[in-house]
Amino acid sequence: MGVTENLAAIKNTLPPTCTLVAVTKTHPVETIMQAYDAGHKVFGENKVQEMRSKAEVIPADVEWHMIGHLQSNKVKHIVPFVSLIHGVDSIKLLEEINKQAAKIDRVVNCLLQIHIAEEESKFGFSEEELDYLIEAYSREKFSFVNIRGLMGMATLTENEDQIRKEFKQLKQHFDEIRTKNIDGLQFDILSMGMSADYQIAIEEGSTMIRVGSAIFGGRTYH
Ligand SMILES: *Cc1c(COP(=O)(O)O)cnc(C)c1O
C-alpha cells in the first residue's frame, strides 16, 4: 500500500479525540508531499536540521512537531516555527526554550517526556522529577512555554501486557496532574503510541500518536 492508503487506514480507526503526527524522519520531501496532498498537515521530525530544511520547502500551513531528543544549543533554531516540542526531558531544556521563546515573544507548546520504559537508554523525567517540575512550574511559571501535557515511549517488546502497563502508568500521571488544576497549566495532550503500539496506546487514553513506518514504510539511515 502507498502513503495515501496507509494514512487513510490509520485515520479511519482514530477516535476524534486523538491526533495523528505523521513521523517523516529520514523520508524525502516528495514522500511527505504525498501525505500533504492527501490533506495531512501534522508532521514529526527528530532532528533539528532535518526539520528546518524540510520546513523551508514544504507549504507553511503544516504543523511541525519535534519528537526527538533536543539539545539546548539547538533550541533557538526551532523556536520560531515549531508547533509542539514533545521531548522536554530536563529543567535546563525547559528554561532554554522559555528564554529563546521570550526573545521572539512567542509562546511555545511543550510536552514533558516521562520515562516509562524498562530500558535505561530512553530519555525522560522520573515520577519524582515530574512532581518537582510541576511544583516549580506552579511557583515560578515559565511565561513563554505552555506545558500541554506528557509524552512517553513504551519498552520495545512484543509483550503487549508490558506495553499496556506502561501506557496505563503514563495516563495515570497525566490524570493526576490534570486534576490538580494548576493555574496556567493547560495540560490537554497525552502523546503516546507509535507504529507498533498505537492501538494499545489509544485504548489506554492517548490523545496523540506518533506514527512513521506504518505510513511511510521502513527507514534507511545514512
Ligand atoms: C521515530 C519515532 C516515532 C515513529 O516510529 P515508528 O515506529 O516508525 O512509528 C515515534 N516517536 C518517536 C519519538 C520517534 O523517534
Q: Structure pTM? A: 0.95
Residue 52: which H helix or E strand, with range?
A: helix 48-57
Name 106's Cβ contacts closer than 8 Å, sequence gap at least 6.
79, 80, 144
CATH of the domain at 150: 3.20.20.10
Please name the amino acid found at residue 14.
L
> What is residue 206's DSSP assignment?
-
Average pLDDT over residues 194-210: 98
Residue 198 within any structural domain of the chain: yes
Residue 23 within any structural domain of the chain: yes
Banded pLDDT at 167 (limits 50, 70, 90): very high
Residue 117 within any structural domain of the chain: yes
Residue 222 within any structural domain of the chain: no
How far is Cα 190 from Cα 205, in angstroms, rounded to an integer?
8
CB 190 within 8 A of CB 171: yes
C-alpha closest to that of 188 among 110, 78, 83, 116: 110
List pLDDT tens digits, range 1-32. 799 999 999 999 999 999 999 999 999 999 99
Residue 221 within any structural domain of the chain: no
Instruction: State residue 172's pLDDT score.
Output: 96
CA end-to-end distance (rounded Å), the chain: 25
Atom of ligand 1 minimally distant from the CA of 216: 8
What phi and psi values does residue 135 have, to the nearest 5 degrees? -60, -50
Among 46, 156, 167, 220, the mutation site with the greatest number of ligand 1 atoms within 8 A of its Cβ is 46
Name 197's Cβ contacts closer than 8 Å, sequence gap at least 6.
154, 163, 167
Q: Can you list the pairs that 55-59 forms with residues at least 24 positions away whose Cβ atoms lie under 8 Å?
A: 55/81, 57/29, 58/29, 58/32, 58/33
Q: How far is the CA of 83 from the centre of ligand 1 (A)?
A: 17
CB 25 within 8 A of CB 212: yes
What phi and psi values does residue 197 have, to the nearest 5 degrees? -135, 15
Banded pLDDT at 139 (limits 50, 70, 90): confident
How far is Cα 140 from Cα 208, in angstroms, rounded to an integer?
28
Residue 177 within any structural domain of the chain: yes
Instruction: State residue 31's pLDDT score.
Output: 96
Strands 42-45 and 108-114: unpaired
Residue 150 within any structural domain of the chain: yes
Number of structural domains in the chain: 1
Q: How far is the CA of 65 from the centre of ligand 1 (A)?
A: 12
> What is residue 72's DSSP assignment?
G
Question: What residue numbers bound the domain in which 34 lies?
Answer: 3-216
List pLDDT tens digits, range 78-89. 999 999 999 999
Atom of ligand 1 minimally distant from the CA of 87: 13
By CB atoms closer than 10 A (0-12, 13-18, 19+), residue 22 is buried
Atom of ligand 1 minimally distant from the CA of 213: 8
Grid cell, residue 39, equals: 490533506
Residue 78 within any structural domain of the chain: yes
